[in-house]
Amino acid sequence: MLPHTWDEARALAYALPEALPAHPVPLAEAMGRILLGDLQALNPMPHYASSAMDGWAVAGSPPWIFAQEGRRLVAGQAIPIVTGGLIPAGAKAVLRSESGQVKNDDDGLPVLVLGPESRPGEPKNGQHIRPVAQEAALAEVLIKSGTTLNPAHISLAALGGSDELHVLGKPMVKLVLTGDEVIASGIPEPGAVRDAFSPLLPAVVTLLGGQVVGLERANDTLESVLAALEESPDNPADVLITTGATGNSSADFLRRAIAAMGGTIHINSIAMRPGHPTLLAELPDGRFLVGLPGNPLAAVVALLSVAAPLLAKLGSAPMPDTFEVPCGTPIKEFQGPTRLMPYRLVYGLASPCAHTDSAMMRGLAAADGIMVVPPHGAKMGETLTAFALPWK
Q: Can you give the chain as a three-state secondary structure string?
A: CCCECHHHHHHHHHHCCCCCCCEEEEHHHCCCCEECCCEECCCCECCCCEECCCEEEEECCCCEEECCCCCCCCCCEEEEECCCCECCCCCCEEEEHHHEEEEECCCCCEEEEECCCCCCCCCCCCCCEECCCCCECCCCEEECCCCECCHHHHHHHHHCCCCEEEECCCCEEEEEEECCCEECCCCCCCCCEECCCCCCHHHHHHHCCCEEEEEEEECCCHHHHHHHHCCCCCCCCCEEEEECCCCCCCCCCHHHHHHHCCCEEEECCECEECCCCCEEEECCCCCEEEEECCCHHHHHHHHHHHHHHHHHHHCCCCCCCCEEEEECCCECCCCCCEEEEEEEEECCEEEECCCCCCCCCHHHHCCCEEEEECCCCECCCCEEEEEECCCC
| Of 67, 113, 112, nearest in space to 89 by CA | 67
Shortest Å, Cβ 298 to ligand MOO = 3
Shortest Å, Cβ 296 to ligand MOO = 9
Q: Does 182 bind ligand LQZAQKY5 (CB under 6 A)?
A: yes
Residues 224-253: x/- map of binding to ligand MOO (CB under 6 A)?
------------------------------
Stretch that binds ligand LQZAQKY5, among 21-29, 119-127, 166-174, 241-249 (CB under 6 A): 241-249
Stretch that binds ligand LQZAQKY5, among 75-83, 288-296, 331-339, 345-353 (CB under 6 A): 288-296
Report d(CA 112, CA 104) in Å as an integer.
9
Shortest Å, Cβ 212 to ligand LQZAQKY5 = 15
Q: Does 255 bind ligand MOO (CB under 6 A)?
A: no
Number of residues that bind ligand LQZAQKY5 (CB under 6 A): 24
Shortest Å, Cβ 16 to ligand LQZAQKY5 = 21
Residue with Cβ nearer ligand MOO (295 or 351): 295
177 binds, among ligand LQZAQKY5, ligand MOO, none (CB under 5 to 8 A by kind): ligand LQZAQKY5
Which residue in the set 266, 276, 313, 339 belongs to the binding site for ligand MOO (CB under 6 A)? 276
Residues 252-281: x/- map of binding to ligand LQZAQKY5 (CB under 6 A)?
x-----------------------xx----
Shortest Å, Cβ 185 to ligand LQZAQKY5 = 12
Shortest Å, Cβ 185 to ligand MOO = 24
Residue with Cβ nearer ligand MOO (64 or 253): 253
Q: Does 273 bind ligand MOO (CB under 6 A)?
A: yes
Answer whether 335's CB lies under 8 Å from 375's CB: yes
Residue with Cβ nearer ligand MOO (298 or 350): 298
Q: Does 244 bind ligand LQZAQKY5 (CB under 6 A)?
A: yes
Which residues of the shown chain bind ligand LQZAQKY5 in the complex (CB under 6 A)? 177-179, 181-182, 193, 195-197, 243-247, 252, 276-277, 293-296, 298, 358-359
